[in-house]
Amino acid sequence: MRKFTSLASLMLAGLLVVGCSNSNKELEEASAQDLYSKGQTYLQDGDYNSAIRYLDAIGGKGNTQFGEQTQLSLIYAQYKVGEYYKALDIAERFVRAYPNSAHTDYVFYLAALSNARLGDNFIQDFFGINRASRSIDTVRNAYGSFQTIVRDFPNSKYAPEAQQWMGYLLNRMAEHELEVVKFYDKRDAYVAMSNRVEEMMRFYPDTKATAEALPYMKKAFEQMGLNDSAQKVDALIEANKGKEYPNVTKPAYGEQF
C-alpha cells in the first residue's frame, strides 16, 4: 500500500511540475493583450490569485498600453486576497506614476481600506479586546487616505463612506492616546502625561477619550506642584460633566469598487 501511495505522490508531483511549466510557458508566450484579457476574466470570476499571475506577467512585456488599468486591477486583486501590504505598495507606485489619473480617488480608497484592515485583528474583535493599546500607525495611515478623498475628491462616490470612516478612526486614535496617558500614569511620568493630554486636546478635542484624559492631566499638574494649572483643568472637567458624545460605530467595509 505504501508503494502505491508513494507512486501516486510522485505522479502527482510530476503532473504539478508539468502543469506549472506549461502555465509559465503560456505566460511567457502570451501577448500583453491576451494576458490582460485573461487577467480581467479571472478578476470578474473572483479568481484573484490567477488574475494576479496574469496581470503581473504584463510587466515583463514592456507594454505600457495596459499599464494604468493593470495596476488598478492588481491593487484590487491584492486587496481581495488579503495581501494588504502588496496592495499598498502598488497603490503608492501608482500615485507616483499616474499623478493625474481619473482613478486616484479609487486608489486612495483601496489604500485606506487596506490600512484599516491591517489595523484590525480578528482574534481581538472576537474576544472583544481593546485594540487601542496596539500600534496605531496603520490607523493613522487609513485616516490620512480617507481624509485625502474627502478633501481632494469631495464629489467622489467614496467621499461619504470616507467621512464615516474618519469619524470612527479619529476616535480610535484618541482612545490610543488615552492608553498612552494611562501608561505614563503607571510610571509616574507626569510631564509626559500632561504633554500627551495637551496634544489630545489639540488634535481630538471633541472625543470622549480626551474628556476622560483630563483627570490625568489634573493629577499630573498637582504632582508637579502646578496648582493654578490643575485648577484650570478642574474647571474644564466640571464644564464637561454631563456632556454626551456620539456613539461612533465601526463602518462596514465597503464593496463599491
> Nine-digit cell at 102?
481619473
Q: Is residue 34 part of a domain?
A: yes
Q: Assign 5 to helix, strand or coil.
A: helix
pLDDT digits (tens, 9 = 90+) for 173-196: 999 999 999 999 999 999 999 999
Q: Is residue 118 part of a domain?
A: no
CATH, residue 51:
1.25.40.10
- Alpha helices, H only, the chain: 2-29, 32-45, 48-57, 67-80, 84-97, 104-118, 122-127, 137-152, 159-186, 190-203, 208-223, 227-240
Q: Is residue 72 part of a domain?
A: yes
pTM over cut 0.95 = no
Q: Is residue 3 part of a domain?
A: no
Q: How much is the pLDDT for 191? A: 98
Q: How much is the pLDDT for 22? A: 55
Q: Is residue 252 part of a domain?
A: no
Per-residue pLDDT for 78 more than 70? yes
- Domain range for residue 49? 25-97
- Cα separation, 91 vs 208, in Å, equals 34
- Cα separation, 220 vs 20, in Å, equals 65
Higher-pLDDT residue of 16, 97? 97
Averaged pLDDT of the chain: 88
Q: Is residue 105 part of a domain?
A: no
Q: Is residue 70 part of a domain?
A: yes
Q: How much is the pLDDT for 4? A: 44
pLDDT digits (tens, 9 = 90+) for 34-56: 889 999 999 999 999 999 999 99
Number of domains in the chain: 1
Q: How much is the pLDDT for 18? A: 52
Q: Is residue 41 part of a domain?
A: yes
Q: How much is the pLDDT for 14? A: 57
